[in-house]
Structure 1
Amino acid sequence: MILINAKFTVKDEYVDTFLDRVADFTADTRAEEGNIFFNWYRSTEESNVFYLAEAFADDAAEAHVTSAHFKKAQQEIPPLLVSTPDVINTLIEGKTEWDKLGEFEVK
């Protein structure tokens, strides 16, 4: 599994419309073969910060970053941002499913 977490700091004038502006990119990415999840979250502490949590099968990265919708997003998203997004990108070979968080086991 390729696990990616990215932090997007959005310009104030786009905060209220940001999720609408990335909706097509989100839908197209979720439809990709090999996509496990692709979810946006808005920070509860910084109203102009959005986090993207995404995961793909081990061999799905190239198809994602070479897709037409990814290339379109590369053009459309940066003008909405204050700065280049921060990212954590990890490969967990062979992983495709969630584990249980045993420290919070429900009995």
Structure 2
Amino acid sequence: MILIVVKWPVRPEFDERWPELVREFTEAVRAEPGNVFFEWSRSVDEPHTWVLVEGFRDAEAGAVHTASDHFRKAISEMPDWVSATPSIMYVDSPDLAGWGPMGEVQPRG
């Protein structure tokens, strides 16, 4: 699996509208056969920053993703919406298949 985390610093005037701005792109990525998850969250520590957590089945799925029309369209639009270059973390782990239970914390009772 390929795990990608991207911090998106968004221009203040686009911060509240960010989910709407990326909705079409998000829906298209989630429909890709090799996509495992694609989830946006707002940073609680960094103002006007959105965090994207992405998972793809394998390198082939990642290549299909970056070659897609919706990826190219999003990449052409996003420079107008960001306030700085996004930061990325990329992990390629063939042993990882998706989310699993966290052993250290379980509900009481």
Sequence identity percentage: 36
Tell me which residue corresponds to 2:9: 9
| Residue 63 of structure 1 pairs with residue 61 of structure 2 | no
Counterpart of 1:47, as a letter, is P
Tell me which residue corresponds to 2:38: 38
Count of residue pairs brought into register by the alignment = 107
Write out the 4+ residue segments of structure 1 that deviate beyond 3 Å after TM superposition. none
Task: After TM superposition, list the pairs within 5 Å mapping 1:1-107 onto structure 2.
Answer: 1-58=1-58, 59-106=60-107
In the aligned structure 1, how far is the partner of 2:97 from the partner of 2:7? 23
**The residue matched to 1:84 in structure 2 has which SS?**
coil
Return 21-30 or 96-105, whichever deviates more: 96-105
In the aligned structure 2, how far is the partner of 1:97 from the partner of 1:2? 10
Structure 1 portions without partners, runs of 5+: none
TM-score, with length taken from structure 1: 0.94
In the aligned structure 2, how far is the partner of 1:89 from the partner of 1:17? 26
TM-score, with length taken from structure 2: 0.92
Structure 2 portions without partners, runs of 5+: none
How far the C-alpha of 1:70 sits from its partner, in A, is 0.1
**The residue matched to 2:101 in structure 1 has which SS?**
coil
Measured against aligned partners, the alpha-carbon deviations of 1:32-78 in whole angstroms (never above 9, x if no partner) come to 01100000000123330000000000120110000000000011111
